[in-house]
Amino acid sequence: MRIALIGSGRVATCMGPQLKAAGHTIACVYSRTMANARELADALGAPATDSLQSLPMADVYLTMLTDDALARLAPAIVKGRENALFLHTAGSIPMGIWKDAGAGRYGVLYAMQTFSKGAQIDWPQVPVFVEGSDAAELETVKTLASDLSGRVAELSSTGRKKLHVAAVFTCNFSNHMYAIADKLLATEGVPFRVMLPLVRETARKVETMSPQDAQTGPAVRGDRKVINEHLELLKDYPGYAALYRLISIDINKDLK
């Protein structure tokens, strides 16, 4: 299929090469900044544009934009191309955004993974969740998703939004905890890399047991002495102390 990539950020730089490797033609790369569009387009052997009006005809218009940008630009993406298939990759945007923009054929292709430019993604293991405006379009989206991953499943917009919330807890909030740890360690001249074996083992355990069963630490033990000592150490960081207390209570309600 001829696929126009709308966006040149982290998702596009990871997904675009995989789609090309699967045999699809990248019709163009759009970005509001021509330099960004050209950087990815050159890597994919495709034309670049910073104008939605100049998008070439394609079978699929695959948008990888921020939620606000998608809501703002969807009508302009669809206009004059109503017979194409329009897909977005957002976790929290309902499929119906395309219908509201005037599209007749549309869906969602949501790869549940954290993306960084230059990262090597193990695509066959990435869960990809899809929707389609009707049975025929759903099959088309499933086929396209199967070119990316071996783990494709259908999920409603409501289910995908809840999945996205879970992903925020699993990935974004966990990474913020790493950032806090990094700041605290830096005050003692200790590099964050000392935590990496702990990070790896924590992730490994939940591959073989439930997160609830894998929970360790003073909160789950109800060890108020250690908790209070930690809170004392955090007295110069009131925000971190409040977060520590809140999470501890959520782990063990008896600590209230």
All domains in the chain, ordered by first residue: 2-155 (3.40.50.720), 161-255 (1.10.1040.20)
Angle (CA) 59-156-16 rounded to 5° is 35
Quote the tokens at residue 124.
Answer: 């066959």
Contact yes or no for 55/61 (Cβ under 8 A): yes
Handedness of CA 52, 105, 92, 128 (dihedral sign): negative
Q: How far apart are CA 17 and CA 178, in angstroms?
A: 30
Whole-prediction pTM? 0.88
Amino acid at 152: V
pLDDT, tens digit (0-9, with 9 covering 90-100), for 87-111? 999 999 999 999 999 999 999 999 9
Nearest to 91 by CA among 2, 199, 172, 211: 172
Amino acid sitting at position 43:
A
Confidence at 256, pLDDT banded by 50, 70, 90: confident
Distance (Å, rounded) from C-alpha 11 to C-alpha 2?
Answer: 18
User: What's the gap between Cα 164 and its chain centre?
Assistant: 8
pLDDT of residue 254: 92
